[in-house]
Amino acid sequence: MKRIFTLTFLILIVIYSYGQGVSFSYLIPKNGEIAAPISPFSIRGIGIGKIVGIETGGSFYFIPGLPAKDLPFKSKESIFGSQYAFLVPLQAFLNIPIKRARIKFLAGGFGWYTISPKINNGNLDKALRGYTSWDVVTSDYQFENKIGWGLIGGFEIEFQITKNAALSFQTQYLNGHAKAPMTGSYAGGNIGNPISSVDADFTEAKASIEGLEISIGVSLLR
């Protein structure tokens, strides 16, 4: 799957580009924190086909925080802290022209990888306090950073402003994760009682990326 995704992405870039676009893209993750784009923002619309086809691109985000799933406890706050992330979609699309505008429907998958990710120790300690029912918890955890995958779909509306350019508004929903097995320990206890230390690895932990991606930009028409 990974090889097919990478090969298709490279072929689409090298062979033909029908209408690249540069945009400001913002990611609003569920139970996470809003991610802002990093220059040169997002590049989308690299692909083949005009009415029906396949396209890809890429976005570079700064993500303040993402939630974790498949832990033995639940947390509504970000467990994985600030990080930079590359997100690359690969989608089929259908274009419906409407005079000087068009609506594009997209569906497919995406890959993503984070750079220098961290654990939000404050939020992890808070979640562990609820899990253990202790008054005080201090944790010491590391995790393995891996490539993540998921599904993405949505629509885009383009309004032609010149012969070769259009203003675009895009909204997509993402649902994916990256395996992030956590190893370490935590210590704590209730006030007035001895401190306890627990070695506990969370090998099934995953960094979850689910939510809306909203983009506003300019597309080059051909």
For residues 203 and 190, give the distance between their C-alpha atoms in angstroms, rounded to a whole number: 27
Which pLDDT belongs to residue 13?
45
Reported as a pLDDT band with limits 50, 70 and 90, residue 163 is confident
Report the C-alpha dihedral over residues 8, 55, 43, 16, rounded to 10 degrees: 70
8: left (phi over 0), alpha (psi -120 to 50) or beta: alpha
- Asked whether the beta carbons of 215 and 25 are under 8 A apart, the reply is yes
pTM above 0.85, yes or no: no
**Burial annotation 127-155 (CB, 10 A radius, 16+ → b, else e):** bbbebbebeebebebebebeebbbebbbb
Domain ranges of the chain: 2-117+147-179+208-220
Question: What's the average model confidence in pLDDT over 119-123?
Answer: 93
Tens-digit pLDDT profile for residues 57-73: 888 888 888 999 999 99
Report the C-alpha dihedral over residues 65, 69, 72, 75, rounded to 10 degrees: 40
Question: What's the average model confidence in pLDDT over 41-61?
Answer: 86
Which pLDDT belongs to residue 217?
84
**Six-digit token string for 186:** 């935590």
Tens-digit pLDDT profile for residues 140-161: 999 999 999 999 999 999 998 8
**Strand order across the beta sheet in which 136-143 lies:** 136-143, 182-189, 196-199
Looking at the domain that runs over 2-117+147-179+208-220, which CATH code has it been given?
A: 2.40.160.20
Which pLDDT belongs to residue 191?
93
Which pLDDT belongs to residue 3?
54
